[in-house]
Structure 1
Amino acid sequence: MIFDRLHHFTAALVVAAGLTGNAIAAEPENTMVITLKDGDVTIALRPDLAPQHVEQIKALVREGAYDNVAFHRVIEGFMAQTGDVQFGDMADGFNARRVGTGGSSRSNLPAEFSDEHFVRGTVGMARAQNPNSANSQFFIMFAPAPNLDGAYTIIGEVEDGMELVDRIKRGDPAQNGVVSDPDRMLDVKIAADGN
């Protein structure tokens, strides 16, 4: 009886905190904080699922490569995509025609598919047709997309601030979610690095 009450209380706390599914609080070394126009979004990175992808993301964060990068493709009811450090930097070198086609100076990565599911708040790596072409771009899910399961690499999940992700400017449905005058990641940090 006490165990049942404790279990229900703990489950209620998890739901209240927004930590549904398999989400668990990440240690600071694997916590990415994205500052948007309305506040901070905290993402628990998952090196247990995709160690090479997470390592590359963290290296790019620490280089400052993601600062001022646009959410260039945002589709209502699906996802918000960002991370094109080559053509998406809105403070330096933004190219509206090419954004979404670039990556970084780092090598593309071999796929690290898992049995995890693409649900609301999942963070996955964008790629071209080749499964081994992910580089720097990633997306945050607005809603479940089972068709992506096992076909795209999952690198993390939103721990806090999903309501801020919901406010990211949407793109034109007729143009596959391309956003004119897009929102951006103002600043991106790894929590272990402090301010």
Structure 2
Amino acid sequence: MADIKDPENTILIELKDGTVVVELLADVAPKHVARMKELARAGAYDNVVFHRVIDGFMAQTGDVANGNAEKDFDIRRAGTGGSDLPDLPAEFSSLPHARGTIGAARSSNPNSANSQFFINFKDNDFLNGNYTVYGRVIEGMEHVDAIVRGEPPANPDRMISVRVAADA
């Protein structure tokens, strides 16, 4: 297991092939970090699919309203919702969208991020300054690389569980 320096700001995402360890950047994007931890602690991310996975770009997930593979699931709706909580204001920074960083998915409105996020497969500098970066994979990127591709994938992978390391 990775050397976890701050368990309160570390997320463990269980995928089919293993655990992805994400270091959250609370000093850079405190509202986005707080939201991810709140939803993880509520179990809202459990069984949520990766509904948009583009080879050479990123894997998107986190639609807690429409992306749960366990209840009334329809892949065509996945990616259209968020949580019952209010949208978040943008917390743009100078951090680049490098391979393994976690970005907040949003609509064309910069202040519309809610529960959805994406993990960059490669450096995506064209996103810099336009999407909030609030975490980075510190272990298990090979499991992210193994996520089934598609928009949407025919048989999507899902986050089996998402936990704050301090609670694990």
Structure 2 length-normalised TM: 0.96
> Pairwise CA RMSD of aligned residues?
1.5
Which structure has the larger Rg over C-alpha atoms?
Answer: 1
TM alignment of 1:175-190, pairs within 5 A: 177-190=151-164
Contact 1:26 1:45 in 2 (8 A): no
The aligned counterpart of 1:30 is: 9
Return the letter of the residue paired with 1:182: P
Secondary structure class of the residue paired with 1:112? coil
Q: Distance in 2 between matches of 1:103 and 1:95?
A: 15
Structure 1 segments (4+ residues) deviating >4 Å: none
Q: Distance in 2 between matches of 1:93 and 1:113?
A: 35
Return the letter of the residue paired with 2:22: I
The aligned counterpart of 2:140 is: 161
Q: What is the deviation of 1:148? A: 0.3
Q: What is the deviation of 1:92? A: 1.5
The aligned counterpart of 2:63 is: 84
Q: What is the deviation of 1:160? A: 0.1
TM alignment of 1:147-158, pairs within 5 A: 147-158=126-137
TM alignment of 1:118-157, pairs within 5 A: 118-157=97-136
Q: Distance in 1 between matches of 2:114 and 2:46?
A: 16
Return the letter of the residue paired with 1:98: R
Q: Higher helix proportion, which one?
A: 1
Secondary structure class of the residue paired with 1:81? strand
Contact 2:104 2:116 in 1 (8 A): yes
For structure 2, the residue ranges without an aligned partner over 5 or more in a row are none
